[in-house]
Amino acid sequence: MTVGRSASAFLNRAPRLRLGLLLSAPMLWLGLAYLGALAALFVTAFWHADPFTGKVITDWTADNFKTLVTDSVYRTITFRTVAIAAGVTVIDAIIAFPMAFYMAKIASPRARRVLVIAVLTPLWASYLVKAYSWRTMLSGNGVLHWLLDPLGLDTPGYGLTATVITLSYLWLPYMILPIYAGLERLPDSLVDASGDLGARPARTFRSVVLPLTFPAIVAGSIFTFSLTLGDYITVKIVGGTSQMLGNVVFDNIGAANNLPFAATVATVPVVIMLLYLAAVRRTGALENL
């Protein structure tokens, strides 16, 4: 027997060893390296930085967390960020669903392929360029102004509205695709049966389609939520003077040289996402990613 065969025979008898070997590299990478890095970051949240030199002083203190909780501005920013994330998610879900439904159920297979490409390609256009494109569109003398002026309206300019619009735009494909996949898996016969039993389209949608595709919608929402929660670039481009959680973390890392406080603020989106993930696990969304 060659070495290969004897090794293979040996491994065949030892499923746990096989498992261990398979898991070793990914676990080392993700478990040790990645989780370790997160843990190290979490640890620095309990230290503080000297405001003059920027050096991290390793005296254990919960002062950072105290500041985070007592200063009202951080609560405001957190609520604002979560509200924006929720808004973006809802807007995207509302826009994505009809589009995905048409693509999955009504379009012919050939059209379907073209449509999927049409929806996917913009994803690979640079995120920055898309955000910047919105900046020029929202400008005082940009396209939106030109379009809305005859109607007596005006561009919302830079600010929270612009941020919500731009973020909704950027993450829309991430919502369309899971819903599309989920709708594809939905058997047509169920929808037909519902119609046969006398339900009008709205009722069918509410009682049959929506509950069955809910996990897919939630899967899409994981991305829109998480991407919005940590984003700081779009706000800087179209957000005017608004701040989101990502900005506070970024400013503390870069401008304020205050890694401990940045880590403290960073725990907020992490905790929110972990809670969100835990909540959606039940809905089975994680299999729909």
Partner 1 sequence: MKKYPLALALFGALVLTAACGTESGDSGGGGGDKPGAQGFTPPDLKALDKLGEPEGELSVLAWPGYAEDGSNDPKIDWVTPFEKETGCQVSVKTFGTSDESLSLMKAGGYDVVSASGDASLRLVASGDVEPVNTDLVPNYADVFDYLKDKSWNSVDGVEYGIPHGWGANVLSYRGDVVKPAPTSWSAVFDPESQYQGKITAYDSPIYIADAALYLMKHQPDLGIKNPYALDDKQFQAAVDLLKKQNPMISEYWSDYLKESQALKNGDTVLGTAWQVTVNLTKSEGSPVDSVLPSEGATGWSDTWMVATKSQHKTCAYKWLDYIVSPKANAQVAEYFGEAPANEKACAMTTDKSHCDTYHAADADYASKIWYWTTPIAQCIDGRTDVKCKDYGEWTRAWTEIKG
Partner 2 sequence: MRLSRTTRYVLLAALVLGLVVIWFPLLLVLLNSFNADTTFGWPPSALTFEWWARVATNQGALNALWTSVQAGLAATAIALVLGSMAAFALQRYRFFGRDTLSLLIILPIALPGIVTGIALNNAFRTILGIDLGLFTAIVAHATFCIVVVFNNVVARLRRLGGNLQEASMDLGASGFTTFRLVTFPMLRSALLAGGLLAFALSFDEIIVTTFTLGTGMETLPIWILNNLFRPNQTPVVNVVAAILIIVSTVPVYLAQRLSGDTASGGRL
Q: Would residue 59 be called left, alpha or beta, if left means φ above 0 and alpha means ψ between -120 and 50 degrees?
A: beta
Could you tell me how many residues make up the chain? Answer: 289
Q: Which is nearer to partner 1, 47 or 101 (CB)?
A: 47
d(CA 215, CA 217) in angstroms, rounded, equals 5
Q: Mask 250-289, x = binds partner 2 (CB under 8 A)?
A: x--x-----x--xx--x--xx--x---x---x----x--x
Closest CA to 162 of 247, 82, 241, 239: 239
Residue 53 Cβ vs partner 1, minimum distance, rounded to whole Å: 3
Do the beta carbons of residue 182 and residue 141 sit within 8 Å? Answer: no
Under the criterion CB under 8 A, does residue 157 sit at the interface with partner 1?
A: yes
Residue with the two structure tokens 């879900």: 93
Q: Which of residues 146-205 bind partner 2 (CB under 8 A)?
A: 146, 169, 172-174, 176-178, 180-181, 184, 188, 191-192, 195, 201
Q: Using the rule CB under 8 A, which residue among 19, 57, 118, 197 binds partner 1? A: 57
- End-to-end CA distance of the chain: give it in Å, rounded: 44
d(CA 172, CA 223) in angstroms, rounded, equals 10
Q: Mask 70-109, x = binds partner 1 (CB under 8 A)?
A: -x-xx-xx--------------------------------
Two tokens, residue 40: 């190290």
186: partner contacted, choices partner 2, partner 1, none (Cβ within 5-8 A by kind): none
Two tokens, residue 227: 């991407």
Do the beta carbons of residue 251 and residue 186 sit within 8 Å? Answer: no
- Where does this chain touch partner 1 (CB under 8 A) — which range of 41-49, 81-89, 184-192, 218-226? 41-49
- What residues make contact with partner 1 under the rule CB under 8 A? 31-32, 35-36, 39-40, 42-44, 50-58, 67, 71, 73-74, 76-77, 139-141, 157-158, 240-241, 243, 248, 251, 253-258
